Chains A and B, each alone.
Chain A
Amino acid sequence: MSQRNIFLTFVLLLLGTSACEDDFIGRTPVYSIDSENYFNAEADYENALIAAYDLLQATYLNVMLGEIASDNTLAGGESATDVIGIQQVDDMIHTPVNEQLKSIWNWMFAGVNRASYLLEFKDKIEFDGKAQILAEARFLRAYYNFELVKWFGPIPIKGDVRFALGDETSLPRASVEEVYAAIESDLELAVADLAETAPQVGRVSRGAAQALLGKAYLYQEKYAEAAEVLNQVIQSGNYQLSADFAGIFENTGENGPGSVFEVQYTDAEGAGFGCLQCSEGNVAVGFNGIRNHTGPVYDSGFSFNVPTQAAFEAYEPGDSRRDVAILDIEAWAAETGAGFGTGYEHTGYYNRKYIARKGDSNIGDQNLTNPNNYRSIRYADVLLMAAEALNATGNDEQARDYLNQVRRRAFGDMDHDISSSGQALGDFIQVERRLELMGEAHRFFDLVRTGAAAGAIDGFTAGKNELFPVPFEEIQFSNGNWSQNPGY
């Protein structure tokens, strides 16, 4: 070969490789689906809907921390520094730097975004049953937004499109009124399209959307609207108070006749501390569990969320709900010979509705994979919410009826019926909510919305602690766009 030929060959080879650069480097990733080129079949919508449901399981933290924030329970745990963020919320000394509050913010927005992802592509294809899927997505987004507004007050709202990076510096925190307007809008659309009976256990029924809408109205003190929509749930005849109150919180009582909406958990899959929101089990249950328990019925746990003496004593004699809601561990040990340890802030009581029980598969980490469903909206709650709304709009008779339905089940007789009216009745309804819903994460927010928190919760500062602080990092990320909640 001549000098020239060699040179030419070399150059050609180089050019040859450069010509295929686009083919070689511009390869499509192997075995992956592009998120922006999805929703091409009904199954795609169904799959994306499952993703939107997934974050419901992360609400275990809202439930646990919400209860600890109230006057019902103390943080507990192993020591004063065991999950410092939880300890601080219990003592109302929390600051914007709080891992658990950050998680609630992050996880609930993750839920919002997964629902919005589906809704962003709502018009891409048509198929029978799409309306039901979209309605479920709307319910879920409303559910997550409702959690966010309860915890943090004003939050950014974007409509049927995902949040994008940079929105934190441009989208304002919508006012509480605007957030509720978005929640109402989503729920109204959902109610219109949802089937009366959910297509599968665990999915949303029309009644669930109505109940959540009623709750959203109630939180805004829109009592007439609340009473109307909650009455629709009650009058639908789809729900009833199950006679066996204790049974509701056992595995066999899940998704029972009084279940309006339930967050579904299972022990079928393992989980780890590295990703608590990934667990398919109810993480709160292991955290609430009895420290070092050895004995029948219950598995052990981390002794968080322990009821106070005052909560135990709040029940009247004869109220069957006390021993369902609160386990007196010393009495239990004396009765069964069970062993237990004492953790931090040991009160001798456990949040019995949501502590670990034996009988599940205990896949590791067994404390994170308890299968206990969270009874998010119970029929009794609907009755009490309706009673509250009716009382506020002057229909005390109907309110008393709903209240007493709940009390009759609790006492097994009619001797404990409430007969008062007006403000007194309203006060009874609030007390009843505490007793009926003890351990179920309603108390703190009920106290806040009725203005009673400062008098009930140690360390609660009026004008500040009604809301939790927006995570420190979020304020930083917003680069001045968002201001911190008052007092933090």
Chain B
Amino acid sequence: MRHYIFLLTLLLGWGGLSAQTITVKGTVTDASTGETLIGASVIVIRSDSDASTSGTVTDFDGSYVIENVPAGSSLRFSYTGFETTEREIGTSGIVDVALGADVQALEEVVVIGYGTQQKRNVTGSVVTVDNETIDDLRPVKIEQALQGTVAGVNVTTQSGAPGAGLNIRIRGVSTNGQNAPLVIIDGYQGDLSTVNPTDIASITVLKDAQAAVYGTVGANGVILVTTKTGNKNSPTQVSYNTFFGIQETSKTLNMLNATEYGLLLNESYAAGGQALPYPDASTLGRGTDWQNEVFGTAPMLSHDVTVSGGSDRTTYSISGSHLNQEGIIGGEKSNFTRNTARLSLGVDLSDKLKLTTNAIFTNIDRDALSENGLGAVLFNALNAPPTLPVFDETGEPSLVPNTPGLGIEVINPVAQIANTFNDYDLNKLNGQVSLDWKALPGLTLTSRVGFNTSNSEGRTFSKLINYGGKVFDVTRSSVSQNAINDNNYSLDLFGTYQRTLADKHNFTATAGTTVFRELGNGLFATGFDVPNNDWEFADISLATGTSPEGARDVGSYSYDERRLSYFGRVQYDFQERYFLTAMLRRDASTKFGPENRAAFFPSFTAGWIASDESFFGDEGPVDLLKFRVSYGILGNDQIINNGYIGTLSGEATYVFDGILVNGTAIGALPNPSLQWEEAKKFNVGFDLALLDYKLNITADYFINTRDNLLISNIPVSGIVGTSAPGGAAPTVNAGAVQNKGLELAISYQQRFNKDWKLNVSYNLTTLNNEVLEVNNGTGFIEGGAFGVGQLAPSRMEVGQPIGYFFGYQTDGIFQNASEIEAHPSQIALGADAQPGDIRFVDTNNDGVIDPNDRTNIGDPIADMTMGFNFQLEYKRFDLLTYAFASLGGDIVRNYERALSDVNRLDYYLDRWTGAGTSSEVPRVTTAATANGVFSDFFVEDASFLRLQSVQLGYTLPFKAGAKRSSSLRLYVSGNNLLTLSNYKGFDPGASSGAPIGGGIDYGFYPIARTILFGANLTL
């Protein structure tokens, strides 16, 4: 057989050289308007699949000419936004073509987990973000491409620092454990955070019971990532993208200048009966603007190259990328570098056997500064007194005085940046090999191995440093290093059988198994007395000292977690009009004890394409109307490992004979009866396409109820000893949370004529979160932190949104003594009220203000989020805008240190200074007040509208008649140019992502405002 192929190839090759060639020409037009299309790609597809494929693009008149085209070839016409069309070349050599609009809704194939489905036939709530959106947004991290583009998906930044993590929440927070969705990359379990966005072809989000095929890991929703592959019978295409960006902070806070600060302190000291610290404040001037000292402009640079193509049996795609981003605080001290390399290969081993494989190598190098809370650079910049110069007379960074008014935590942020030394390096390899075998007509068997293996190293140098008696003084230098290994693999084996009966009944059945295992370890060590007190020498091999005897300078951990799953799915439709899908999955996991190790997760989805009914008729504006409904039970097993057995992982350290001795103690208390979290997902919705698919509307209503919520370290009676060092309370199935909401997505696309094209889309999500059950004895779980030594500010409690803020309600300011007289005593909050202090509400009307008066004063969950996207193309120019809005969430201002001499925000200029002067901002005094207790004074509206991206591009075609559809697009883009919000802090959109304790702003690193200059080159 092989000989024949060889001969055949030779013959055809010979034929190619000698056969008759003709010149083909023609015009490409828009079918709907009749206007000519400029820059449409015309590619010759030769019957012999010779690699030297030729082609061109249309010129300004929409016409093209290709010479030496072998007779019998055909042409492929493609143009963004239009359906790709192939035509055979007739003898005339003239091929005019009118391209129709790309009706993606009809043809597009969507991955749905262990298979694909035509988008038209999908009956779950499934949304796809394609690579055009990703290309438009140019995200540094791929999670950003989901913000505002998909209804029901909310992405929050943990920090604006380069390389910082992002949290994705699909349809809200349902558990106080792990809320992150499952990420599946090309079929295997993966991780979004390290992926190079340009390697991604599409992202599909499964929001409802459609995810049930992933059973126990699908409760938080599933994100399916498909990476790029080459296309068959395509010439080698090279694309190169680059951009250079300048970043600066998107916001600085309005702080007091030195004069304002001096005067305020004088007033404060006078009110406290103390001597004035600045008897002559007039000489202070503006002083030091610490934010100016720490914020800077920082460069950002990205390159990536992709080479792809394919013959009729193979496809390939090879890419490499480099990204370097410096931080807007500390520049290279918070540098992030990512390099990736990727290879994707598809080979048809035979007509029935198809192999696809890809591998991605990622290298990340990240340095970081202290963030969030006491000790953060920004915290210091906001609290350091403006009267203090950055450097003292000797040129050294000046020391923030060690006084009661400034505390022992505030240090010079400039010195802090200079003294911060750390490094994190990650090397990761992930990929998959899969084999599809068309074993029988209609039956395809797939086996796949996916893997992730990563090694990371961390190093932190604690320099010997004196900040003048502050808690950050280091009296002995040390270097801490760690090495962490994380590995996992997934093995899939499944079969898909398709059959059509009587031309009407279509069945697709899928059944299979997945084995997932993750294992790894971490090793930690610290060395003391670093030579020369210098980062250059900061390695354990050079450090000469150890801790005193008995203290352990080393640590380690290991894990080995496994999951074994079986699943089955039957999809049935009648005439592609009535759809029904049923799914069942059984999972067994090492997270649970023998009795509860395995569980079943059933679900179904159904759909009806009403527009196919005869009563709709063929005419009329409605192209597609599909109703969908789904219900299913999914699971969540994302809890601590081995929670069902007691292990000796506690801490037992004491001092005998003057030295530390180590023993053994029980760690977390076990719960042998642990079982799965159950997510019950109900969804009903419709898809509507109108006006030749120009207008698309999708609406969904969902109710997600999470039962048997796994609550780790749930508070239990102290008598069982869970507060011992290294101990922890058990993980218990002890709660229920419900999320309800509405999602709406509308998109409209219109090509007016050959010059103008418009794309507009809008999406909206409402979310209503309620805790239904907290079964731990107290009925609530606390979390978060506010101020120093205060009661926990966040709660999960029945009848309230998860993580709502629990504090005092305020009722203005006491204007005079008689108002105080008329009000219940506030002494229990720490001090008797004086005129100018905050008046707290006696919510339980018991005649005293005490901790029992705390109540719901807000919650961090936005009631409504929206995304808005606008794209306009005019000739070779394109303009696009992405905006995102979040309405109705609250955020807690917790970056102000409650000390008398720290700097303050300028809202204190409007403080109470006498009867009638203010009913919002309390007086300043060094005397004891209750004004600092956690109240709604510190809770602000976190609603915001952010212009995420504005981009203007211009596409230069390479001269008409070139062999390929080559183009160069130049663009300038502005990210986060504008945020409209009343929030006083840096970023109303930032959150730690914690279910209980989220939405508390410890001084979040603001996201950067970035101007990018970029080029996309396609050859």
Contacts and interface: CB of A to CB of B under 8 A. Distances in A.
B476 A361 contact: yes
B697 to A, nearest CB: 42
Contact of B721 (A17, A78, A114): A114
Nearest to B556: A31
Given A81-B789, A82-B788, A201-B656, A54 B566 contact: no
Interface stretch (B136-144, B246-254, B640-648): B640-648
B661 A27 contact: no
Nearest to B662: A50
Interface string A19-47: 00100111101111111101000001011
Interface stretch (A162-170, A186-194, A214-222): A162-170
B663 A51 contact: yes
Contacts of A80: 830-831, 928-930
Given A17-B515, A266-B655, A277-B724, A110 B718 contact: yes
A55 B654 CA distance: 9
Contact of A362 (B475, B659, B718, B898): B475
A95 interface: yes
Interface in B67-101: none
Interface stretch (B312-320, B330-338, B544-552, B813-821): B544-552
Given A6-B439, A51-B665, A292-B403, A167 B653 contact: no
A300 B665 CA distance: 34
Nearest to B646: A35
B294 interface: no
A49 interface: yes
Contact of B558 (A30, A87, A103, A264): A30
A362 B445 CA distance: 65
A303 to B, nearest CB: 8
Contacts of A265: 655
A202 B654 contact: yes
A316 interface: no
Contacts of A87: 830
Contact of A35 (B589, B658, B666): B666
A368 B412 CA distance: 23
Interface stretch (A341-349, A394-402, A420-428): A341-349
A479 B723 contact: no
B641 A47 contact: no
Contacts of A99: 791
A278 B717 contact: no
Contacts of B650: 51
Contact of B647 (A34, A111, A366): A34
B404 A32 contact: no
Contacts, number: 297
B590 A27 contact: yes
Size bracket, chain B contacts:
35 or more
Contact of B928 (A48, A79, A363): A79
A365 B657 CA distance: 24
A109 B725 contact: no
B807 interface: no
Nearest to A113: B721
Given A78-B899, A113-B720, A164-B720, A46 B663 contact: yes
A33 B666 CA distance: 9
Interface in A94-124: 95, 97, 99, 102-103, 105-107, 109-114, 117
B402 A477 contact: no
A3 B440 contact: yes
A473 B515 CA distance: 43
Contact of B648 (A3, A35, A103, A164): A35
A417 interface: no
B646 A292 contact: no
B407 interface: yes
B471 interface: yes
Task: Among B513, B642, B777, B778, find the residue whose CB has the most chain A CB atoms closer than 10 A.
Answer: B777
Interface in B634-679: 641-642, 645-666, 669-670
B952 interface: no
Contacts of B716: 165, 477
Given A10-B495, A114-B721, A27 B562 contact: yes
A15 to B, nearest CB: 10
A107 to B, nearest CB: 6
Nearest to A203: B656
A277 B471 contact: no
Contacts of B645: 29, 34-35
Given A50-B661, A162-B721, A21 B649 contact: no
B933 A341 contact: no
B922 to A, nearest CB: 14
A364 B474 contact: yes
A469 interface: no
Contacts of B723: 103, 106-107, 109-110, 277
Contacts of B547: 268-269, 363
B469 interface: yes
B576 to A, nearest CB: 27
B663 A50 contact: yes
B932 interface: yes
Given A29-B645, A32-B649, A99-B791, A24 B562 contact: yes
A266 B789 contact: no
Contacts of A83: 789
B722 interface: yes
A87 B662 CA distance: 35
Contacts of A472: 778
Nearest to A340: B404
B471 A78 contact: no
Contacts of B718: 102, 105-106, 109-110, 471, 474
A51 B663 CA distance: 6
B724 A32 contact: no
B467 to A, nearest CB: 12
A1 interface: yes
A280 interface: yes
Given A25-B589, A54-B725, A268-B548, A344 B564 contact: no
A337 B897 CA distance: 30
B551 A268 contact: yes
Nearest to B445: A10
A278 B651 contact: yes
B914 interface: no
Contacts of B669: 165
B853 interface: no
A172 B645 CA distance: 28
A164 B646 CA distance: 12
A53 interface: yes
A47 B670 CA distance: 21
B654 A264 contact: yes
Interface string A150-174: 0000001000001111011000000
A430 B407 CA distance: 39
B651 A266 contact: no
Contacts of B647: 29, 32-35
A341 B930 CA distance: 22
Interface of A: 1, 3, 6, 10, 13-14, 17-18, 21, 24-27, 29-36, 38, 44, 46-51, 53-57, 78-84, 87-88, 93, 95, 97, 99, 102-103, 105-107, 109-114, 117, 156, 162-165, 167-168, 200-203, 264-269, 275, 277-278, 280, 291-294, 300, 341-344, 361-367, 471-474, 476-479
Given A29-B560, A30-B560, A81-B898, 4 more contacts: A21-B564, A25-B562, A48-B665, A114-B724
Ranked 7 nearest A-B pairs via Cβ: A50-B663, A113-B721, A51-B652, A80-B928, A106-B718, A51-B665, A341-B404
Interface of B: 402-404, 407-408, 439-440, 443, 445, 469, 471, 473-476, 493, 495, 511-513, 515, 519, 547-551, 558-560, 562-564, 566, 588-590, 594, 597-598, 641-642, 645-666, 669-670, 715-727, 730, 776-779, 787-791, 827-831, 850-851, 898-899, 928-930, 932-933
9 contacts: A3-B440, A6-B440, A35-B670, A81-B928, A81-B933, A107-B724, A156-B719, A162-B721, A477-B778
